[in-house]
Every structure is written in C-alpha cells, then in structure tokens.
Amino acid sequence: MDDFSDLPFPDEVARAAATGPHSRSLGRLAELGAWLAACQGQAPPRPVARARVVVFAADHGIAARGVSARSPEATARLVEAALDGTGPTATLAAGAGATVRVVDVGVDSDGDGEFKVRRGSGSIDTEDALTADEASAAVRAGMAVADAEVDSGADLLVPAEFGVGSTTPASVLVAALTGAEPVAVVGRGSGIDDRAWMRKAAAVRDGLRRARGSVNDPLGLLATVGGADLAALAGFLAQAAKRRTPVLLDGLVVGAAALVAEELAPGARGWWKAAHRGAEPAHALLLEHLDLEPVLELGIQAGEGTGALTALPLLLQAARLAAETAAVAPVFDDVT
C-alpha cells in the first residue's frame, strides 16, 4: 500500500485570504468558498469546471439476511440505470452539470470490468467480506480511479455507491471506529420495517463482534466487515487528498469509507466537505467523529450520491460568489 505519511494539507493562507470582511454576511456560502480556495491554493477560488461523480458498485452477502427493503438483484439494475442516464444519480448529476462514472468493483453479475475484485462479498455476520488480497486490490482500484479522474481534469470529486445492503457493513465500520454500540448505529436504510430492522441490528452486532480485532488495522477492518465498494471508496478518498482535490461527501456509506480513509491517510478529511446529514444515526456519529459540519440537513436515508448532488449546485454557486465578491469587495463593504 502506498505511503500517505506525506499527505499535503489545504492552504490556510488562501482560506484566510478568501475570508475577508466582505464575506461575513454570506455565512456558510463564504465558508464553502473559503474551503475551495484552501483546496485550490488560491484566493479567490476558481469556479468548478469539471465536477465528476464516481459511483463504486458492489453487492454484499449480508443482503441475503433480509436487512434491506431491496432484493440483491437491484444493484445491477441501479448500475444499468446510471449507465443509461436514468435514475436519481444520473438525473441529479445532469441537473448539476456533473458527469457520472460507474465502477463495478464487486457486483454479483457476469460483468468483468477492469477493477472488479469479486462477485459480491461474504456475509459479514459469519465470514469475512473479502480476503486480505481482495481488500488491498479494492483500495488500490479506488486510488487508481482517483488518479485517472484528476489526470483527466476533474477539479471536484463526488464519490457515491450502489450496493444493496451496504448500510449494514457501513454501520459496523462506524461502530467499530467510533466505539458506538450496535443499537446506536442501526437505521432504516432503504426503508426497512421493524422485523428487518431487528435482523439488521443482529447482523451489525455480529459483525461488530468480528471486527473488534481489526480496529487498528484499516485494511484488515475492510476485509473483515467492509466490502469491495467500501474499500475502493476508502482508497479513492485517501488518494484524492494526496492529489489535492476537493471531495464532496455523500451519506452513510461514503462517510463510513471516509472514516477508514482517515485512518489510512490522517489529515485527509481537510480535503472533504460533508454535503448533508442524513437520517441514518451512524451518519451523524461519523460526521461528529470526523469533525465535519454538513452543508444541508435533508433527512435522506438513501445514498447513491443523492445528497451530495443536491448540495453540489450550492457549492458551485459559492465558488462563483467568492470570486465575484472578491472583485467588488470595496463596494460590497460600503453597501453592508
């Protein structure tokens, strides 16, 4: 695994320069603009020219335990819809002027893409999600995709996931890394009923018991109770920070991967902005642990990039506003 010990940090001088007296009345919009300035290393920040959504898709063996309102076959359908330009992810991305890439790292289908690690994962209540080699390969896949996107000109990355049952391993990761009890992290995910919630709670409890021995080993934790999508997301997030590229985080699954990425690459969180706080209890816990203040409060349970893509236009406007108000700062100060 690559060494993240020399991880760069956002430019605090640029952040301070972008946070002048003329920006105070703009509140959180000014904060967003200043964050982009710090990530870009210049004030005012450049408008975002190429926002890129990258969806990592994988199936989870735990879905067979009835922890989701969706059937396991739905993951492949989500991938097909995104590739066809339909579905919530593609619709919201088009509205925000972003393009979408879908990376199959573990869908239980016949497709065999460049970065596919395996078909599905083990059921984390009784077996490891991945082997050690598969976890390493998935992390490296995420790193390679981040490099490719930055090299192609992406100046803002929006990671997302497709995977039925993915909030269950994500909840286990959050509990393992924050010290929370299983009942404190189990939410309704895709809209499960009470019986499915109890099955999910039991799965999280059993997965957390298995995860205890790997808490101080990020790769081991991903292998034991993660999955190919979570591992790839962790590598993607860490490498994006290494490449000095800002990232807009989505919901629970991406956030859980961010917790692991911060373990792999301490300080990477400075390059991330939390788009929203969703309805999943584990999402609030991980945001607090990472000390990230969400842009929006949306009450969204679904992942798939929906929350981040809803916040994306606000971030794009903040960048434009930061540049414009900097150009007219004296006049702006006189008016306010």
Residue 98: pLDDT above 90?
Answer: yes
Residue type, 325: T
Residue 38: pLDDT above 50?
Answer: yes
Q: How far apart (Å, rounded) are the C-alpha atoms in residues 87 and 92? A: 9
Average pLDDT over residues 31-46: 94
Token pair listed for 168:
């269950």
pLDDT tens per residue, range 49-58: 999 999 999 9
Residue 101: pLDDT above 70?
Answer: yes
Average pLDDT over residues 116-133: 97
pLDDT of 332: 43
pLDDT of 262: 98
pLDDT of 326: 60
Percent of the chain with pLDDT over 70: 94
pLDDT of 300: 83
Strand order in the sheet with 99-106: 99-106, 51-58, 156-162, 247-249, 272-274
DSSP secondary structure string, 180-205?
--GGGT---TTT--HHHHHHHHHHHH
- The residues facing 265 across adjacent strands are none
Q: How far apart (Å, rounded) are the C-alpha atoms in residues 107 and 94? A: 24
C-alpha dist (Å) from residue 281 to 55, 91, 100, 306: 23, 27, 28, 18
Residue 185: pLDDT above 60?
Answer: yes
Answer yes or no: pTM beyond 0.75: yes
**Taking every pair of C-alpha atoms in the chain, what is the biggest distance, in angstroms?**
66
Residue 333: pLDDT above 80?
Answer: no
Closest C-alpha among 102, 100, 128, 97 to residue 113: 102
Report residue 89's pLDDT band, with 50, 70 and 90 as the boundaries.
Answer: very high
Report residue 310's pLDDT band, with 50, 70 and 90 as the boundaries.
Answer: very high
Q: Give the residue ranges of DSSP H helices in the chain.
A: 12-17, 28-40, 74-83, 87-96, 132-151, 167-178, 194-211, 218-225, 228-242, 252-264, 281-290, 306-327, 329-335
**What is the DSSP secondary structure assignment for residue 46, as one 8-state letter?**
P
Please give the positions annotated as active site.
304
Residue 328: pLDDT above 60?
Answer: no
pLDDT tens per residue, range 225-242: 999 999 999 999 999 999
Report residue 331's pLDDT band, with 50, 70 and 90 as the boundaries.
Answer: very low
Q: Which of 14-23, 169-178, 198-207 has the lowest mean pLDDT?
A: 14-23
Residue 336: pLDDT above 50?
Answer: no
Average pLDDT over residues 297-324: 89
Answer yes or no: CATH 3.40.50.620 is held by domain 48-310.
no
